[in-house]
């Protein structure tokens, strides 16, 4: 155990932001291929904890998200609504809308649907996806995203990756073939990650806060170490040594960029990892406690209750309990 928990002999991390993206794990809840003929309109309900995105493979439509101007989506457009906000899609801005769940669909598989809707006029084809990121790193990442992320790059050579992926998706969507669900869902997942990379490369918001910390040569490496090895017996001095800084300079810079002390962030990360393990696995609580750096189940339970307001056992038995990253704010840091 001491060898596992040691701060020594850790390989260097050359790309902390890239490693963070690598840690993102998608969980697709629903993929829907749609053929929509004007006039048509539908309202997407709010879905807290989920991301929704729409890929137009033929035709055009309007997307309306509260707080944002209406956005015209044309062939090749990809729009991501990352915070589960309700929104409207329609052929024209004056079209009547129908609630999504009132529109009949054909279930092609457990997670893959086909929708045909509208008045018989101009055709729009879309693939719409409801996605959840399961890991703690993703939930931290999503809080940084705007209300609407839109990419329109069908004819833009800079974004040939979008063109080729959407064209492949368009071809695959024309008919249901063996393995079609697998191909479509994997293409949708690839487009999601590509859209996030695009935003990171082009948005000024990506140069602030936690994302800016990940881009920092020293602090980004420290964050990546915490993400990769949450169970190690980290100290401020140990992290500083790993990234080649003095303890005081490292602690000050970490606080400025991340908005928390290194040990507060370590506690935050450990609790998020533990929460997911409790939700998605049947591992014993003691095993989860050890994996996130606690040598006793009692100490882990106290820390978990301090953050989430209930014990690990109660949390595991309560499927409706919703966790907000903001719950971590103001907790007492572990011993530095």
Q: What are 256-280's pLDDT values in tens digits?
A: 998 899 999 999 889 988 988 898 7
Predicted pLDDT of residue 137 = 65
Instruction: Kindly report, as residue ranges, where domains of CATH 2.60.120.280 are found in the chain.
Output: 24-203
Q: Name the more confident of 315 and 206.
A: 315
Instruction: Kindly report, as residue ranges, where domains of CATH 1.10.10.60 are found in the chain.
Output: 209-328
C-alpha to C-alpha distances, 284 to 59, 180, 288, 299, nearest whole angstrom? 52, 38, 7, 15
Confidence label for 2 from pLDDT (cuts 50, 70 and 90): very low
Q: Which residues pair with 128 in a beta bridge?
A: 32, 54
pTM of the model: 0.68
Between CA 281 and CA 3 the distance in angstroms is: 26
pLDDT at residue 142 greater than cutoff 50 = yes
Q: What is the mean pLDDT of residues 276-287?
A: 89
pLDDT at residue 57 greater than cutoff 50 = yes
Long-range contacts, 110-114 (Cβ 8 Å, 24+): 111/28, 111/29, 111/30, 111/31, 111/181, 111/185, 112/31, 112/32, 112/33, 112/180, 112/181, 112/184, 112/185, 113/30, 113/31, 113/32, 113/33, 114/32, 114/33, 114/34, 114/176
Give the homologous superfamily in CATH for domain 24-203.
Regulatory protein AraC (2.60.120.280)
Of 16-30, 53-67, 297-311, least confident by mean pLDDT is: 16-30
Q: Top-level CATH class of 209-328? A: mainly alpha
């Amino acid at each position: 155990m001491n060898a596992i928990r040691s701060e020594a002999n850790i390989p260097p991390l050359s790309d902390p932001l890239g490693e963070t993206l690598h840690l993102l794990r998608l969980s697709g809840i629903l993929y829907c291929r749609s053929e929509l003929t004007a006039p048509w309109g539908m309202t997407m309900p709010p879905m807290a904890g989920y991301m929704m995105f729409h890929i137009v493979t033929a035709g055009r439509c309007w997307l309306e998200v509260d707080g944002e101007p209406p956005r015209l989506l044309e062939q090749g457009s990809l729009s991501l609504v990352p915070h589960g906000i309700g929104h409207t899609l329609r052929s024209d801005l004056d079209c009547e809308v129908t609630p999504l769940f009132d529109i009949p669909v054909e279930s092609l598989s457990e997670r893959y649907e086909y929708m045909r809707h509208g008045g018989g006029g101009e055709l729009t084809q879309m693939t719409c996806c409801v996605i959840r990121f399961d890991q703690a790193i993703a939930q931290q990442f999503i809080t940084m995203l705007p209300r609407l992320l839109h990419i329109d790059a069908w004819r833009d050579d800079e974004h040939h990756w979008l063109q080729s992926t959407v064209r492949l998706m368009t071809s695959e969507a024309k008919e249901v073939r063996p393995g079609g669900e697998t191909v479509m869902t994997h293409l949708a997942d690839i487009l999601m990650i590509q859209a996030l990379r695009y935003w990171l490369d082009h948005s000024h918001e990506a140069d602030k806060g936690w994302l800016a910390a990940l881009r920092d040569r020293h602090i980004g490496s420290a964050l990546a170490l915490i993400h990769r090895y949450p169970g190690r017996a980290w100290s401020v001095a140990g992290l500083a040594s790993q990234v080649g800084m003095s303890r005081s300079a490292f602690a000050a810079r970490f606080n400025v960029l991340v908005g928390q002390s290194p040990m507060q962030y370590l506690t935050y990360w450990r609790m998020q990892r533990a929460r997911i393990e409790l939700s998605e696995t049947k591992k014993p609580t003691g095993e989860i406690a050890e994996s996130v750096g606690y040598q006793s189940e009692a100490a882990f339970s106290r820390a978990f209750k301090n953050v989430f307001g209930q014990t690990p056992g109660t949390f595991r038995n309560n499927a409706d309990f919703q966790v907000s990253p903001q719950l971590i704010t103001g907790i007492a840091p572990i011993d530095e």
